[in-house]
């Protein structure tokens, strides 16, 4: 774990020094939260909607974040063009929100198998669904209730490891305790807050922050740095919050005040 902790410190310090931009095609409901979280951690944000913008950003930035939570007709062109360009020129983080719901979402996720992301971040049900959709595991339910998981993080471990090996990157499974794997190393990160499930955008913004770290670190370190940052900041914010609204404010403050050592000191264990 010492080597991992040192890599986390290096990643966070690199973000602070370089202020990397990580553009996003993201859920309309959570655009502001995603951008503010990226800024709080030391990165820079830019929101993308049009097909040519996605390609342009992939040539300018080292990483991009793609969230399929709220799709509109133009995404049918924007997302495929962007992921293809990102795979060829940069890297991208995928958040397969509500995977398995709707034809367009399924079509886009199937397309991504040929141009896979370097990081996939989702809840257990979403990770199971993507692994099944890509033919990496045999049948499993992976059902979602809206955008919420009906499966446990541990249930999704094998699927996450298969996905990570296939994409040559990392998968982060969010839950009461979070799991991050590159297919060879698997770490459980602890902390966070029960408030994460009571506000909009905690998962979406985590994906955006992972994209910031991906601009300066390898996928496993980037995914774990983002996850640890959320677990430390979430725990601190909950201690100060009076409810869901104040939690969001306290959380962004905690995120912006994190040190590299805080992220490396998050409670975690290899499993």
Residue 213's nearest CA partner among 227, 202, 193, 196 is: 227
Residues 6+ apart with CB under 8 A from 78: 25, 48, 49, 50, 51, 53, 54
Is 168 marked within a binding site?
A: no
Would you say 193 is a known binding-site residue?
A: no
**Residue 24 in marked binding region:** no
CB 232 within 8 A of CB 58: no
Q: Is 123 helix (H, G, I), strand (E, B) or coil?
A: strand
Sorted by sequence, the CB contacts under 8 Å of residue 95 that are 6+ apart come out as 26, 65, 66, 67, 68, 69, 120, 121, 122, 203, 204, 207
Q: Is 47 annotated as a binding residue?
A: yes
Per 3-state DSSP, what percentage of the chain is helix, strand, and coil (rounded to 5)? 55, 15, 30
**Of the candidates 122, 117, 206, 190, the residue with the CA atom closest to the CA atom of residue 159:** 122
Binding residues, as ranges, are 47, 121, 174, 201
Binding residues for substrate, as ranges, are 47, 201
Binding residues for ATP, as ranges, are 121, 174
């Amino acid at each position: 774990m010492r080597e991992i902790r040192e890599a986390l410190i290096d990643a966070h310090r690199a973000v602070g020094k370089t202020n990397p931009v990580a553009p996003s095609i993201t859920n309309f409901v959570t655009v502001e939260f995603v951008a503010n979280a990226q800024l709080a951690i030391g990165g820079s944000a830019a929101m993308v909607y049009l097909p040519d913008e996605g390609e342009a950003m992939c040539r300018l930035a080292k990483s991009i974040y793609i969230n399929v939570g709220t799709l509109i007709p133009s995404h049918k062109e924007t997302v495929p063009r962007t992921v293809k360009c990102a795979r060829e020129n940069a890297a991208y983080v995928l958040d397969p929100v509500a995977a398995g719901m709707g034809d367009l979402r399924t079509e886009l996720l199937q397309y991504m198998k040929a141009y896979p992301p370097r990081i996939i971040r989702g809840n257990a049900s979403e990770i199971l669904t993507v692994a099944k959709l890509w033919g990496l595991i045999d049948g499993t339910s992976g059902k979602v209730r809206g955008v919420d998981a009906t499966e446990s993080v541990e249930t999704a471990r094998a699927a996450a490891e298969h996905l990570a090996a296939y994409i040559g990157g990392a998968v982060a499974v969010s839950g009461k305790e979070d799991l991050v794997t590159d297919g060879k190393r698997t770490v459980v990160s602890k902390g966070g807050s029960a408030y994460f499930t009571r506000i909009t955008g905690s998962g979406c913004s985590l994906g955006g922050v992972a994209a910031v770290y991906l601009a300066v670190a390898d996928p496993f370190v980037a995914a774990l740095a983002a996850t640890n940052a959320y677990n430390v900041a979430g725990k601190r914010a909950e201690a100060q919050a009076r409810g869901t609204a104040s939690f969001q404010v306290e959380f962004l403050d905690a995120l912006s005040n994190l040190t590299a050592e805080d992220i490396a000191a998050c409670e975690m264990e290899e499993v």
